[in-house]
Amino acid sequence: MDLRQLAALVAVAEHGTFSAAAKSLHTVQSNVSTHVARLERELGVTLVDRTNGRLTDEGQAVVERALRVQNELDALASDVASIGEEVTGGVRFGVIGSIARWLVPRLLGAMRDAHPRVRLVIVEATTTSLVPQLLSGRLDLALLNLPVDDDEIVTETLFEEDLLVVAPEGHPLAERDEVSLVELAEHELLLGPPGTALRNELDAEATAAGVTLRPQAELDGIRLIASLAFEGFGAAILPATAVPGWLQGRWRRVTVPELTPRTVGAARRRRGLPSAPARALADVLRGVVDEQGPGQPGLHLTSERE
């Protein structure tokens, strides 16, 4: 078994066909086929179903392990290159969409100033989508809603954020500074569809208060809901970081004291030492949260970050 064989199998998994994998590796299809076939012979199993080009269960297991091997090799090269000089190398960072608008501009600026030779790749997705990417090694670090129920993930709480109402100018809720869940239930709201994380949280809180939230429209995506609220299409319940303090418009923030704040933290794989660029990013992330967090309405640093 050698690294070329593992790289060939990973390329097939990522690109779907032997020919596309060969193109991505800048080689010919026969080389990719040969590497995969030799790996199959050595392991004594079929890794790719030739009838449809999909990985078998054994192939998927090998790819998951191969990705970790590749990540460790990348980390090794970055660590060696960073000894005695600036941190250099790549790091892949996942962030939930509700926080990205507030955090990413500040994080990019801070990383550029502190570690200009680090190449940062940012993936925006939901917590449920980011966790598997962390486990597979496709991400080095992620900012997620907590808790995460997986023993292979290590988390560090960074802050809590309120859930608040954004009400456009002219909406009855825009005349209020604070509103209860009972009062919210009197109005139609822009909500996520049933089954999404935030909608489940809101429905549970509403049920506990003895009311049912009424949707004006159900939209899958917090940033889409926020954009529509900002543009005046209706009122919405959003996490505080989805409404950055610098963002202004013809709408108003309205607090809902009954709603439980969301907990947000950094997460990484338990196994393996993070690379020098990943460690540098984690340090800068903590600094950005500590410096910028107090200025964001509805964001509260937790005791371990204060």
Query: pLDDT by residue (tens digit) across 127-136?
Result: 989 999 998 8
Q: What is the mean pLDDT of the chain?
A: 89
Q: At the topology level of CATH, where does 87-160+263-301 sit?
A: D-Maltodextrin-Binding Protein; domain 2 (3.40.190)
pLDDT at 306 over 50: no
Taking each helix axis as running N to C, give the angle between helix 29-43 and helix 57-82, from 0 to 180 degrees, rounded to the nearest 10.
Answer: 110
Give the E-state strand segments of 208-261 in sequence order. 214-218, 236-239, 251-255
Give the whole-angstrom CA distance, residue 108 versus residue 110.
Answer: 6
Q: Mean pLDDT throughout 86-103?
A: 91
* pLDDT given at position 304: 47
Q: Mean pLDDT throughout 97-119?
A: 93
Q: Mean pLDDT throughout 71-78?
A: 65
Q: What is the CATH code of the structural domain delimited by 3-76?
A: 1.10.10.10
* pLDDT given at position 242: 94
pLDDT at 77 over 70: no
Domain span(s) for CATH 3.40.190.10 in the chain: 87-160+263-301, 163-260
| pTM exceeds cut of 0.75 | no
196-206 pLDDT, tens digit per residue, is 889 999 999 99
Statement: 163-260 belongs to CATH 3.10.129.10: no
19-68 pLDDT, tens digit per residue, is 888 888 888 888 888 988 888 888 888 888 887 778 888 888 888 877 77
pLDDT at 115 over 80: yes
Give the whole-angstrom CA distance, residue 59 versus residue 1.
Answer: 14
